[in-house]
Structure 1
Amino acid sequence: MKSNNDNSVTTLVHIHCQQFKEWTTRPCPTEGSHTLYKWQVKLHSFFSSTLVDSILVFCYFPARMTTAGKIIKCRAAVAWEPNKPVVIEEIEVAPPQSNEIRIKIVATGVCHTDLYHLFEGMHKDGFPAVLGHEGAGIVESIGPGVTEFQPGDKVIPLFISQCRQCRFCKSPKTNQCEKGWAADKYDVMAPEESRFTCRGKKVLQFMGTSTFSEYTVMNQVAVAKIDPAAPLDKVCLLGCGICTGYGAAVNTAKVEPGSTCAVFGLGAVGLAAVMGCNAAGAKRIIAVDINPEKFEKAKVFGATDFVNPKDHDKPISQVLSEMTNGGVDFSLECTGNVEVMRSAFESCVQGWGISVIVGWTDLADVATRPVQLIGGRTWKGSAFGGFKGRDGVPLMVERYLEKKLMLDEFITHETTLDQINDAIELMKHGKCIRTVLKVASE
């Protein structure tokens, strides 16, 4: 049996079946019992069968004796410079310091924001870095002062923290936090905060998370503890894209039952916005994209109408206005293109229409004529769907476990960390919705 390098107990149950005169192996169905006798009693009850006549339990406590408090050497995808493929390297991950948690990343999605930093942002001082911010994993060890987490907990790293103490965290008006990781203008943790080194050089942590690594270290205010039953290769998507789109509709726009909505851009974030509009009770949801292949997928999440701007010789805002008797009640822009942002805003009905910018860019300015605002439209922005992460993400996980939220349907490709550059190319050329990378075993 292999050590799984985490602090949870790894247990195998060997069951002797007299009928087949052989031993079989199954995972232990119980957790939290530290007495072999209690385990055996529970297991005999669990596997109650005339076929089972003997049970042996083997327990391993690997990381508690091998990695806690020590530097871990592990694999990570390092972006050494902009506009170049990332490189799988062996990095060193320092132990967690005060109020910090070291997490073994089990799975991560690849998001457009990772590509934006790598290919579009072109921040020469934001490298080398380990990208990735849409992951899920298991707590490996904790630093002094950590009270809410224990080794073995399943968690989702958060790129927007929630300290629950600052004026922002105490306000229901925002999900921003004053006490999060100290990001500079390059969207990475300051060098003195990073716990990564590679080839003797400090490696920056992207958005405070860096989920393209087998291990990462984060402040406890930026980690959400989730249900231990949650499949990490699915709920990792709640670390960014799904919460971002879904929450933009439900939390930021506050889509109303019976309303008409338009969603611009049908990537993972846009499809999640469609799902959010549907969950909020919108009567009509118009999906807008220049790729007609995405329309059938949008229908799965609740879209009722589809518009391809390339099929029309007039502005898309005019097309939608004609379709909806003057404009939509809510529009959500999920492309990051400033021209589309303006179109989405001007697609809203005058008087009460609300448009939410969800797509991300800082390479260009967005503008409109003042009369568009004076007429009563509202323009808003949304980060991480307005979710206060430590509170909201666990609830989203529960919705998924209760089959009230779709996640599996977003995953079009699954691969490993070794194939990350292939996953990046799929995203770059619009050939996937979400690719999930298997980073480490549970």
Structure 2
Amino acid sequence: MGTTGKVIKCKAAIAWEVNKPLCIEEVEVAPPKAHEVRIQVVATSVCHTDAYTINPKFKEALFPVILGHECAGIVESIGPGVNNVKPGDKVIPFFAPQCKKCKFCLSPHTNLCGKIRNFKTPNIDQEIMEDKTSRFTCRGKPVYHFMGVSSFSQYTVVSDVNVAKIDDDANLERVCLIGCGFSSGYGAAINTAKVTPGSTCAIFGLGGVGLSAVIGCKIAGASRIIGIDINSEKFTKAKALGATDCLNPQDLDKPIQEVIVELTSGGVDFALECAGGYESMRAALDCTTVGWGSCTVVGVKPGDKDLDVSPVDLIVGRTMNGTFFGGWKSVDSVPKLVSDYKNKKFDLDALVTHNLPFDKVNEAFDLMEQGKSIRTILTF
């Protein structure tokens, strides 16, 4: 392409400071260096993690930063040493690297990768490239990367271990959801919780991740799927995707966990916590059955207190675990998930409630915060 090896000037949304709307700016995107890929972003969506990062309660974020991490696009150019993609390929970048060389990648027990530089906050790791510099500049100032992706830019640069080639006929405005939300929720049910046929499940939070967990539980053969959310407007969608029951904790006269235990004669087999926050995590653990109940934590909420778990909660047979990118080994799994969508194994279309031009990125945040959207797709 004519831009290969050159700085590209393009449009991006920059978060200059905490708790402020993003600003549409012209940025300069440098060419990729060794083992890096420059991508033209075609479609991106807004995730709660993007909003959490500019929340005043979140202390780890660095500014200015180009947010966004759920996207799909086309490779514009590659740096030396890249052999997994080429210019013109359709790709999905993701926050969960897979180098295929480290002890984690070589282990069947995890989908973490040693390329994650900060395991304390892996979901916001990679604010700069591996050589400690940024590929973004605005107004003469370097701009931080975000989660190894930074999709709120018409062009972005990612590591070659954070991107996978997908089918040439893939619908980028739908498969972009595989870059985070869908994979995280669906994989939490399939890979991490390992939901079994005939089982009972409770899913806390019916946003994009929670509804994806509903899809996973249904595909796994669960006989009863209870969706929980404080926004009852989400219940119709949840039931269409497989939920058998829906409960709003604000409509009940007793704690939600007690209601679920009563409904299921002692508790569910699997609980998936997709909302984040102490209260919902505690309720998710408490609503599982003694003996074998499993609670999987998917959601994270900034500024909330830590979860207190008593040994008694666990010695009665309950287990509690967490999931990162739904347990998928990213480079290997993302292309297969795209193929599964094309073959109609699951429905990504149902998760998309709004389509907006990229300039309306702040409107997409507002829709999400007001509970009016599941996923909003932004296109350049």
The one-letter code matched in structure 2 to 1:109 is: S
Shift of 1:187: 3.9
Q: Secondary structure at the match of 1:170?
A: coil
With normalisation by structure 2, the TM-score equals 0.96
In 2, Cα distance between equivalents of 1:193 and 1:345: 42
Please list every run of 5 or more consecutive structure 1 residues that lacks an aligned counterpart in the other structure: 1-63
Shift of 1:190: 3.3
Shift of 1:184: 8.8
1:189 corresponds to:
127
- Conserved 8 A contact 1:83-1:122: no
Q: Secondary structure at the match of 1:169?
A: coil
Summarize the alignment of residues 341-356 of structure 1 with structure 2, pairs less than 5 Å apart: 341-356=281-296
The one-letter code matched in structure 1 to 2:245 is: D
2:248 to 308, 322, 328: 308
Q: Does residue 167 of structure 2 align to residue 227 of structure 1?
A: yes
**Residue by residue, what CA displacement relative to the aligned partner does 1:318-338 show, whole Å, maximum 9, x if unpaired?**
111110010000000010111
1:174 corresponds to:
110
- How many residues are paired up? 375
Q: Secondary structure at the match of 1:332?
A: strand
Shift of 1:361: 2.8
2:348 corresponds to:
407
In 1, Cα distance between equivalents of 2:54 and 2:220: 35
Percent identity, aligned pairs only, is 57
In 2, Cα distance between equivalents of 1:285 and 1:214: 39
1:48 corresponds to:
none
- Conserved 8 A contact 1:261-1:282: yes
Q: Does residue 210 of structure 2 align to residue 274 of structure 1?
A: no
Q: Does residue 357 of structure 2 align to residue 416 of structure 1?
A: yes
1:366 corresponds to:
307
In 1, Cα distance between equivalents of 2:232 and 2:327: 30
In 2, Cα distance between equivalents of 1:327 and 1:211: 41
Q: Secondary structure at the match of 2:53?
A: helix
Q: Secondary structure at the match of 2:307?
A: coil
1:93 corresponds to:
29
The one-letter code matched in structure 1 to 2:80 is: P
**Residue by residue, what CA displacement relative to the aligned partner does 1:238-278 show, whole Å, maximum 9, x if unpaired?**
10000010000000000000000000111010000000000
In 2, Cα distance between equivalents of 1:181 and 1:232: 29
The one-letter code matched in structure 1 to 2:90 is: K
Shift of 1:367: 1.2
Q: Does residue 101 of structure 2 align to residue 165 of structure 1?
A: yes
Please list every run of 5 or more consecutive structure 2 residues that lacks an aligned counterpart in the other structure: none
In 2, Cα distance between equivalents of 1:384 and 1:183: 14
1:31 corresponds to:
none
Is 308-317 or 267-276 further displaced after alignment?
308-317
- Conserved 8 A contact 2:58-2:302: no
1:156 to 81, 92, 102: 92
1:110 corresponds to:
46
Q: Secondary structure at the match of 1:130?
A: coil
Q: Does residue 60 of structure 2 align to residue 119 of structure 1?
A: no
Shift of 1:172: 1.2
In 2, Cα distance between equivalents of 1:187 and 1:180: 7
The one-letter code matched in structure 2 to 1:325 is: S
- Conserved 8 A contact 1:81-1:124: no
Q: Secondary structure at the match of 2:149?
A: coil
In 1, Cα distance between equivalents of 2:281 and 2:272: 9
- Conserved 8 A contact 1:126-1:188: no
Shift of 1:408: 0.7
- Conserved 8 A contact 2:39-2:156: yes
2:194 corresponds to:
254
Shift of 1:308: 1.6
Q: Secondary structure at the match of 1:409?
A: helix
Shift of 1:180: 4.1
Q: Secondary structure at the match of 2:250?
A: helix
Choose between structure 1 and 2 for higher RCO, CA contacts under 8 A separated by at least 6 residues: 2
Q: Secondary structure at the match of 2:54?
A: helix
Q: Secondary structure at the match of 1:136?
A: strand
Shift of 1:309: 1.3
Q: Does residue 327 of structure 2 align to residue 389 of structure 1?
A: no
Q: Secondary structure at the match of 2:104?
A: helix
With normalisation by structure 1, the TM-score equals 0.83
**Alignment CA distance shift 1:181-1:69 (3 Å):** farther
Q: Does residue 150 of structure 2 align to residue 210 of structure 1?
A: yes
In 2, Cα distance between equivalents of 1:301 and 1:107: 24
Quote the RMSD (CA, aligned, Å).
Answer: 1.5
Shift of 1:122: 3.8
Who wins on radius of gyration, i.e. which is larger?
A: 1
In 2, Cα distance between equivalents of 1:435 and 1:67: 30
Where do 4+ consecutive residues of structure 1 move more than 3 Å?
120-125, 180-188
